[in-house]
Structure 1
Amino acid sequence: MTCLSAAVYHEARGEPVDGQKAVAMVIVNRVRSASYPSTICGVVFQNAHRPYRCQFSFTCTGVAVLPKEEKPWRRAREVAASMQNCLSDCTREAASVDGDLQAFGAATHYHASYVRPRWARRLQKLGRIGRHIFFARKTGGPV
């Protein structure tokens, strides 16, 4: 849970709780996909050794993985813990835990609203929470 908590903290600590949960769902959905590493830490730190190729920016920018801000860290750990049931199916979990997150249950990608990555055009846009825009793979299509 430390890897998931660190990702939620560094990627979304200033976002609403729903946005933090959606970031966590992206990571868990990747773990469940054959296209990504099979562990949470593997997904979070995928390509961390390659500048500008890491999956989550905090892993390749040199910031300390463990945070210094206690309140946002505590909330990130709570969000990560709440996503444990999501390991089996985030779509079902999103619907049962929080109806507002249902549309984001299949998310495998996100980016900040102020960037325009090329890969986003190949994905299905699910919506926006805070400053993050979330996407899922199109049915049957490669990323």
Structure 2
Amino acid sequence: MTTALSARSTWVLRASLIGISGLAIVGPALVVANAPVIVQAPKRVKLPPGRVVPQAEVPEVEPVKFVDLTPDDARAFNATVPFSTDPNPAARPFRFAGGPEDLARATDCMAAGILYEAGDDTLGERAVAQVVLNRLHHPAFPKTVCGVVFEGQDRSTGCQFSFSCDGAITRWHPTADAWRRAREVAAAALSGAVFKQVGYATHYHTDWVVPYWQSSLDKITAVNTHLFFRWSGWWGTPRPLAVTPKPSNRSSRSSPASPTRTIPAPRWPRWTPRWPRHRLQWGSLRPPSPPQRQPRRSRAIRSS
């Protein structure tokens, strides 16, 4: 009997050791598999205070400079920036007024800008093309398509479209089909096509970066991974398109330029004033005879 108890004790001991060994393996595995997600606090973003540019001052176009953030932190910060609740009207159609050579040059510049900025994505290209045209209309930007697209290309951090100064042209060579599609989008935009979603936006950036100029603009819409902005206040409305700024030194911030309104030429009314019929001589179908010289302060009869 003692032998039976000894065998039973040995079996129980072995089973206990096997169970403990299994728990030692399965327990940590379950803990690792169901570990709680540790949410790291995003890096604190410090932007300059927002400023609404008054109507009497042409807004300054700041160079491209980004906050030092990882792509994930930048996305988290951009998600906290609310969209503007103000109206977002569609831009007016653009009609190119230059000659064939000027149109070809503008089309090539536009195609390069939208292709390298949005990639071979027709929707993104249309959105970027609308921003180029909005800048072309705005008093704060150059007045040619090529001037808008390649503004600041001679400065490493001063370009307005990053592809023109970050070496993207040498790193990526689009296919012939991509160039053809980009030229089709550019030609349509220069012929009056409007991308309504971006309205009068003059700025944009991808959602994995945070530029310093963002704090002074209104976020109005998103197209894929691009966020679109316009100036806060009067300069973000369609009204500045009819304003021509006075020539001034834009580098000086102490004496900002004062815009002046362009006064349209007067339009003549469609109707032509006529002398009232009751001025005719009663009882006669003929016009009245020429008025005779009357004494001063008397009313002369005019012929119709």
TM range (shorter): 0.7 to 0.9
Kept in 1, the 8 Å contact 2:120–2:182? The answer is no
Which runs of 5 or more residues in structure 2 are unaligned? 1-106, 237-304
Inter-partner Cα distance in structure 1 for 2:208 and 2:112: 22
3-state DSSP of counterpart to 1:136: strand
Q: Which residue of 2 aligns with 1:139?
A: 233
Deviation of 1:85 (Å): 3.3
Q: Is the 8 A contact 1:28 1:40 kept in 2?
A: yes
**Unmatched 5+ residue regions in structure 1?**
87-92, 95-100
Cross-structure match for 2:4: none
CA distance in 2, matches of 1:141, 1:104: 16
Query: Which residue does 2:112 correspond to in 1?
Result: 6
Residue 50 of structure 1: how far off its partner (Å): 0.3
Distance 2:137 2:181 in 1: 24
* Residues 16-31 of structure 1 aligned to structure 2 (within 5 Å): 17-31=122-136
Equivalent of residue 54 in structure 1, options 159, 173, 176: 159
TM-score, normalising length: structure 2: 0.40
* 1:94-125 residue CA offsets vs partner (Å, 9 max, x unmatched): 3xxxxxx4231211010011001121121111
- How much identity, in percent, do the aligned residues show? 38
Q: Distance in 2 between matches of 1:76 and 1:68?
A: 10
Q: Could you tell me which of 121, 146, 151 is aligned with 1:41? A: 146
Q: Which has the higher helix share?
A: 1
- Equivalent residue for 2:224? 130
* Paired residues, number: 129
From 71, 74, 79, the counterpart of 2:180:
74
User: What CA deviation, in whole Å up to 9, does each residue of 1:36-80 have, x standing for no partner?
Assistant: 11000001111100001100111112324x944112111111110
Inter-partner Cα distance in structure 2 for 1:28 and 1:106:
9
Shift of 1:139: 2.8
Q: For 2:150 and 2:186, how far apart are their aligned partners in 1?
A: 16
Match of 2:201 in 1: 107
Q: What's 1:32 paired with? A: 137
SS in structure 2 of the partner of residue 110 of structure 1: strand
Q: TM-score, normalised by structure 1?
A: 0.81
Q: Rg bigger for which structure?
A: 2
Specify which structure has the higher proportion of strand. 1
The amino acid that maps onto 2:196 is: Q
1:83: which partner in 2? 189
Q: Which amino acid aligns with 2:190?
A: Q
